Amino acid sequence: MNTFQQTRRDFLSRASGGFGAIALAGMCSDLQGSQDNPLASREAHHPAKADRVIFLYSTGGTSHIDTFNHRPQLIADHGKSITASRWLNQSGEYNRFLIKPRFSFQQYGQSGTWVSELFPHLGSVIDDVCVLNAMHCESDGHDKATLAAHTGSAQFARPSVGSWVSYGLGTVNQNLPSFMVLAPAAPYAGAQTWGSDFLPACHQGTHVLPGAEPLPNIRPRNRDTEMQQMELALLGRLNQSHFAQRSADLALDARIRSFETAFGMQREAPEAFDLSQESEETLRLYGLERGATSGFGWQCLVARRLAERGVRFLELIDVGSSGNWDSHGDMGDHIRLAAAIDKPIAGLLTDLKQRGMLDRTLVVWTTEFGRTPFHQQADHAGREHHNLCFSSWIAGGGVKGGMVYGQSDEHGILATEDKVHTHDLHATLLHLLGIDHERLTFRHAGRDFRLTDVHGNVVHKIIA
């Protein structure tokens, strides 16, 4: 270890501003408008209909036929025997019994869209939503399907969709991360669902853990602004010298840039997470009690506040204390799971619309796959994994509301008409942000990679 390294490390450990405050103020200000700044705001490929994304992810596999895909024939044929082509991640011929939904459906809004009784609040705003009832993907394994839903790849770790958006467009607010994840825990496949993989590390998602202190250590210990600025200026010079000797070290560059973001977050993040500024009416809209610091309502309201402040991509992971949507044993699990997110999501859509933000905010809800409309036991209360057909929905940001796109067969087993693959959903999301998914590439290991790999078609019929 040379003398410079010892001096730098010693300074890092002694600086009174705290680790979060060791932000390189000089470098940060120099890079704010620099073309070398990987987070600088970038021009889109074509005029965008949306400026930001709020990505809602229900982990575990939500049943399409119990939520958004109303299949009257499945109800009529309950208990009848069929031959299924896939069962428990295996292809073949399986004799199974059709199982009707546990929950009733009714039509909502001027569009008359069918929605399960599980989501009455969402039903009340369904005219702003486009339901995709013919989604499908490659795998019915949790880890692989979750990875694919986030990265486009079911086999290998790849950059998250949020990382690709950050890489493609940069940020409009240098004081906050361009990609943030609000989640009490990781979904299946873990933190790689918000990782940047081979993209520069500054594009990975910043994980925010709901609670009294969602971003610990963000406030500087040294409240003397003048002293902190002196420390930061000195540390900036030390790091510039350190990085000049190691300019090829991408990990070091990423750490330096993370310090820069941390410095900006000291100014903006505490206020962004301060819900005491919100009215009682707004809190009720999200189903929140004043002082609450967790729950999906908290995640949704904080997401709106961060979206207002320029965060480009926000993911809200729906995994609560009551578990996830993997209802193998009893579909009754869906009751409490839906109740936890129904009002907050409807509140988010309503709030965005009232503030004039929904037109430029793309809100996406999805899950890794659906659940089987059949079972090997005629009276079984649960459902298994099913990737051949499932439901998602998308709202705002240039999407036609009050629309159902795609159809399954009469029992909800196969996607049959206007099918939408995960790659198509990603391609459409990028398109609405002004990005051509075939042109958004990054060269790695001797080839150009993209979110949609060599697949994906923009679903133009759902775009307003």
At residue 323, the pLDDT reads 80
Q: How far apart are CA 56 and CA 64, in angstroms?
A: 16
Q: What is the pTM of this model?
A: 0.88
How far CA 292 is from CA of 190, 269, 274, 419, in Å, comes to 26, 17, 11, 40
Question: Structural domains in the chain?
Answer: 1-37+223-272 (no CATH), 42-214+277-462 (3.40.720.10)
**CA dihedral of residues 180, 127, 464, 65 (deg, nearest 10):** 70
- Cα–Cα nearest to 442, from 248, 162, 164: 164
Pairing relationship of beta strands 385-386 and 390-395 according to DSSP bridges: unpaired
- Is the backbone of residue 235 left (phi > 0), alpha (psi -120 to 50) or beta? alpha
Measured CA to CA, the distance from residue 144 to residue 130 in angstroms comes to: 26
What's the confidence (pLDDT) of residue 366? Answer: 98
Give the pLDDT confidence score for residue 150 in this predicted structure.
98
For strand 113-116 and strand 129-136, is the pairing parallel, antiparallel, or unpaired?
unpaired
Determine the Cα–Cα distance for residues 222 and 204; give it in Å rounded to an integer: 28
Collapse the DSSP code of 293 into the 3-class scheme (helix H, G, I; strand E, B; otherwise coil) and give the result: coil
Across the chain, which has 464 residues, the per-10-residue mean pLDDT values are: 43 39 33 60 96 98 98 98 91 96 98 98 98 97 97 95 97 92 95 96 93 74 62 68 63 59 73 94 97 96 97 94 89 96 98 98 98 97 97 98 98 98 98 98 96 97 98
Q: 459, 428 in Cβ contact below 8 A?
A: yes
In this prediction, residue 215 carries a pLDDT of 78
**DSSP code of residue 221:** S
- pLDDT of 181 reads 98
pLDDT at 149: 98
For residue 83, the model assigns a pLDDT of 96
Cα-Cα-Cα-Cα dihedral of 168, 172, 176, 181, to 10°?
A: -50
- Beta strands 52-58 and 313-318, pairing class: parallel
